[in-house]
Structure 1
């Protein structure tokens, strides 16, 4: 009889404990982890000034029923073994009661299945490396919130959005970045379809959508946070960030007239330019086809020949393409020529190829922005430069590891270009030779077996425009114009004398393209420059 009375009293206390929503909320919060008095009050939404009495009453009831105890070491409240068993039993009971009215999930594989919170926990562990216990607690919270929404059919993206929101709410943002789904908003997809439909631009449609996904992947997940911050702020630019995970910047290959069309098998995974080294004259029809095809892919195509034949040169130029030839093969005259310095073979921007025939990647530094960021203080400016170069180094190091999965011959051969040199010299009071020498030294400082940074004054107009636009946003138009004037930041070299060109060629092994008069060019023969011949000024900058 006494035993029966004891069990009835015990059951009575259990049911009394569960008869209050506030006490149930306390048990659920303590099921996740122990909490102090103040933390538990805050977790269940009770104000310390107005609800202290009620809260103390609820705590006494839970402790009297043997469900909660105070840990003497940590001074935090926690579930007793009995409390843990009770909460587990309640979850099982809840699952049985709701089984017939279970949440349904529409899967991307075009089928519908019953909701299973264990799948959320598994994804959290496998994709985001969340500890199993934490993942299980998050899955339980997600299940409760989804059931409160009273949605007939759930979707996987909606569940993922809710879980991401829970991660932020629980202070677990470090896991959210790994769980984020990559894609495009519905509005952007519909706009892209509308833009492409009128032109039947299928390649544009595919490339734009894939670029958006890979850009999001690179900036959200692949690159270190400090690199992404430097890129988004406008301190640095990463050329081809949309294909950063798998592309090289430029490639040189050998081809003659018989196998010229094999060029088409090499352009995939190249971001900027294909250079074809040839010793024979391909027919005009093949040249026009290649020019049109690669232009549609937004790739530059440049020919490189160690000899110079007028018929061949004319055929290339008539096709709208560029041709690089050794300058010494040309007759000197007074015409202005674009010279490629200081190494060969090189891209049409002057950037040298590695021994494997690749330029693995390109980036640019915003010298104007870094100077404005320093408030005009030179010491702080150089600290900013070092931080930006370190960010580029880490970006290239990550790029090499990713690109090596697609390209076996990646050697870590990267170009770092400087934008805004002219503005710092003309308005910032810098000595050009000293500026170039210090920038070159900073690039050498980062050199390693994995990554070689080759400094260059040759960037692109598109990059310079991006830098100026972002600087106006963060520093204001007035400050930008005070240092840079109304023009776009300088993105290509302006070295007026032969001595300056020789100095820059020595300290800037990343190469450059510069316009010089024929007689002036003759004084640079020791550098063995290449002459870049082009029929159209539009090709000077090319896609970027």
Structure 2
């Protein structure tokens, strides 16, 4: 035994620089400890393990694949004991791509357990069928099994055994019958913006089939593996094939000038000419957002909205203008017809006055006619902003907040003067009451004339061609992919390896984003699948795909730093490395711009589910090495480059830390100020806004408030309350808070039901609130 150990040590010293090529293409340093662990797991005697390891080490070479290593181990074990070799084959060589977006080792007992759970089969029958399936699977020369493949073999065996009644309950309809039944009875918590109804069930069933299509048909195996194992997260797989374009920023002037065809052609719907009245334009605004949702996978935004609408308010009394705005706001919140029975995910960018760069631009009014320049409509621009803010401030008929559109108030140097003090105060009354308003800061040096946001945080700036129109309107974020930063830290032996892994993950992301862009071009130009976006506008199509962004997102910078240095993002020394990491990702994006001529950006991922998914996968893969937020089964990673929500860092220090990353995440970012349960003072918030805008590089932020609403007596309360103080109700008290960007109902006080997954719900509980 001692001689074998000495031989292994000698061999290791000669192969110290050997790297193994994983299935996703990433190189990883050869580890004999990992090899030993795999042998111990299948109960290989230690003496035999040493011999096998010695044989492997003498055979490895730089760049050897994991598949080759596993083949050698299996052959060695077969010569020792066939049963042990079978165990090794099942646990390490036979991998299963599951319906949970994971890669797992084959486990015979899982087949038996699903048969028992889904069909009611006896334990004896279930394990007999599972054993027969295992015998068939051993004959297959495949690198990966899939859940559908295994399920079909199980169904074949059920038929052979005459168990047709069990087969009918176990068969697959895109997803298993059992899962569809669970969706009908219980719903899903993947998206907090969706309620449980027939349309959402229909969406989830279709989504699962389209996810499988993307992973099995559209993406090469290395990208599918990287996503399912948790190295990267490819967002919106259900939309990859048919709706590959993510967020969009509209130009309402297009529809003011040319009218509206909600199907893009007018062949299947009524066609509207250029609007003549403000009420018509309000109706068209909502219809535009709803129509685009049929073609897009993400949010719809309209920047400069009140400026472009201002000519329609000329000569109208304020009450009439406000009534028209109310109609729009209610329509946006009551059009339950978007994907899976959601209201359209919408954002509205409002200005406090006509920006200087727009004052001499041609203005279009009723019937699409030229009516001067936008500088002629300063008063109407301000009137529309006031009407919008007052409508949101009043809430709905029950006193609840209007959840859409996300309303973004653009702060420019001229708007932070005494002339606009009343308007600013009104907006901060809205922030104090509901916490629903956002602020886009145009004062930092990295800004130009325009920066518009399309929902949770995705952003366009006029830094592509330098033209505010072509850079920011009629285009959007095509797609983004998220890098698992904590995992990079767990796998890296030193700082240089961190950047090697980042580059590897970016390389994978570039491949996936290019495939998605190609699919977007096909859907626009070849498949006639996106007619609204493809409609003709002035010798061009409406959606400017060549100006759209492809972005690298990230999750868990804080946990990456904790793993590497023992301190997180709130430590100045660790934070320096965090900035260095984001500078590196930005450098790669700039290099890609030069190489490809395409628009690559970096953003803070709005990780509603990704932070939970990555943490769960890493907990399984790395055990105690994984650094997690939350508790037990409700773990999550800190979102992007944020300070952890439960940190004792002061609000001022939090601003100083996070502002460093906003100029490095030009594709989208947000700063969250989670406010306390006491009523926020509008004047104090306005003072804080002035300081953030003038003295920091924070580009986008919101004052977020947790709210409770009693359904029984219609009482709105600050904070997450278990009981209504007015009527004493316990059960029907709804909770509201900001998800990753937008405000939404997050469940009920006495129930775990609601739109949030376990990790996100735990983050809600963990949030530290700032008191004024």
Q: TM-score range, shorter-chain basis?
A: 0.5 to 0.7
Cα contact 2:672–2:702 (8 A) shared by 1: no
> What's the Cα RMSD here?
4.0
Structure 1 residues 518 and 193: alpha-carbon distance in aligned structure 2, compared to 1, 3 A threshold: closer
Unaligned runs of 5+ in 2: 1-134, 153-171, 188-194, 253-280, 310-321, 353-381, 396-401, 442-446, 461-470, 525-533, 535-543, 566-573, 644-652, 674-687, 706-735, 743-754, 757-772
Q: Across the two proteins, how many residue pairs are aligned to each other?
A: 374
Structure 1 residues 225 and 450: alpha-carbon distance in aligned structure 2, compared to 1, 3 A threshold: farther
Give the equivalent residue in structure 1 for 2:176: 185
**Residue from 198, 204, 207 that aligns with 2:200:** 204
TM-score using structure 1 length? 0.59
Tell which deviates more after alignment, 422-431 or 398-407: 422-431
Give the equivalent residue in structure 1 for 2:746: none
Give the equivalent residue in structure 2 for 1:297: 342
- Does the alignment pair 1:346 with 2:453? yes
**Residue from 397, 404, 410 that aligns with 2:545:** 410
- Does the alignment pair 1:480 with 2:626? yes
Aligned pairs for 1:223-372 (under 5 A) are 223-247=219-243, 248-255=245-252, 256-262=281-287, 263-277=289-303, 278-279=305-306, 280=309, 282-293=324-335, 296-297=341-342, 299-307=344-352, 309-316=385-392, 318=395, 319-321=402-404, 322-328=406-412, 329=415, 331=421, 338-340=438-440, 344-353=451-460, 355=472, 356-372=474-490
Residues in 2 aligned to 1:485 and 1:238: alpha-carbon distance in whole angstroms: 24
Deviations 1:373-394 (A, max 9, x none): 33x4323322221111111111
Deviations 1:270-326 (A, max 9, x none): 223121342246432442232233583275222112335333113245322221121
SS of the equivalent of 1:345 reads strand
Deviation at 1:424, TM superposition (A): 2.8
Cα contact 2:411–2:440 (8 A) shared by 1: no
**More helix per residue: 1 or 2?**
1
SS of the equivalent of 1:443 reads helix
Give the equivalent residue in structure 2 for 1:467: 614
Residues in 1 aligned to 2:387 and 2:740: alpha-carbon distance in whole angstroms: 23
Residues in 2 aligned to 1:325 and 1:298: alpha-carbon distance in whole angstroms: 22
Deviations 1:393-441 (A, max 9, x none): 1111011111223335323512221211122335523423222212222
Residues in 1 aligned to 2:454 and 2:545: alpha-carbon distance in whole angstroms: 17
Residues in 2 aligned to 1:274 and 1:228: alpha-carbon distance in whole angstroms: 29
Structure 1 residues 425 and 171: alpha-carbon distance in aligned structure 2, compared to 1, 3 A threshold: closer
Give the equivalent residue in structure 1 for 2:579: 433
Aligned pairs for 1:75-86 (under 5 A) are none
SS of the equivalent of 1:428 reads helix
Give the equivalent residue in structure 1 for 2:693: 522
Q: Please tell me whether Structure 1 or Structure 2 has the larger radius of gyration of its CA atoms.
A: 1
- Does the alignment pair 1:382 with 2:499? yes
Structure 1 residues 520 and 216: alpha-carbon distance in aligned structure 2, compared to 1, 3 A threshold: same
Deviation at 1:233, TM superposition (A): 1.0
Residues in 2 aligned to 1:214 and 1:226: alpha-carbon distance in whole angstroms: 19
Unaligned runs of 5+ in 1: 1-164
Residues in 1 aligned to 2:137 and 2:625: alpha-carbon distance in whole angstroms: 41
Structure 1 residues 471 and 417: alpha-carbon distance in aligned structure 2, compared to 1, 3 A threshold: same
Cα contact 1:464–1:490 (8 A) shared by 2: yes
Give the equivalent residue in structure 1 for 2:588: 442
Cα contact 1:219–1:228 (8 A) shared by 2: yes
Tell which deviates more after alignment, 209-218 or 263-272: 263-272
Instruction: State the structure with bigger RCO (CA 8 A, min sep 6), 1 or 2.
Output: 1
Residues in 2 aligned to 1:440 and 1:452: alpha-carbon distance in whole angstroms: 12
Residues in 2 aligned to 1:258 and 1:293: alpha-carbon distance in whole angstroms: 12
Deviations 1:231-289 (A, max 9, x none): 11111112211111232221222444252232221111322312134224643244223
Deviations 1:66-95 (A, max 9, x none): xxxxxxxxxxxxxxxxxxxxxxxxxxxxxx
Residues in 2 aligned to 1:288 and 1:534: alpha-carbon distance in whole angstroms: 22
Deviation at 1:472, TM superposition (A): 0.4
Residues in 2 aligned to 1:231 and 1:214: alpha-carbon distance in whole angstroms: 15
Cα contact 1:351–1:415 (8 A) shared by 2: no
TM-score using structure 2 length? 0.43
Residues in 1 aligned to 2:553 and 2:598: alpha-carbon distance in whole angstroms: 15
SS of the equivalent of 2:351 reads coil
Give the equivalent residue in structure 1 for 2:750: none
Residues in 2 aligned to 1:463 and 1:441: alpha-carbon distance in whole angstroms: 24
Tell which deviates more after alignment, 230-239 or 398-407: 398-407
**Residue from 646, 657, 663 that aligns with 1:506:** 663
Cα contact 1:327–1:529 (8 A) shared by 2: no
Residues in 2 aligned to 1:224 and 1:325: alpha-carbon distance in whole angstroms: 43
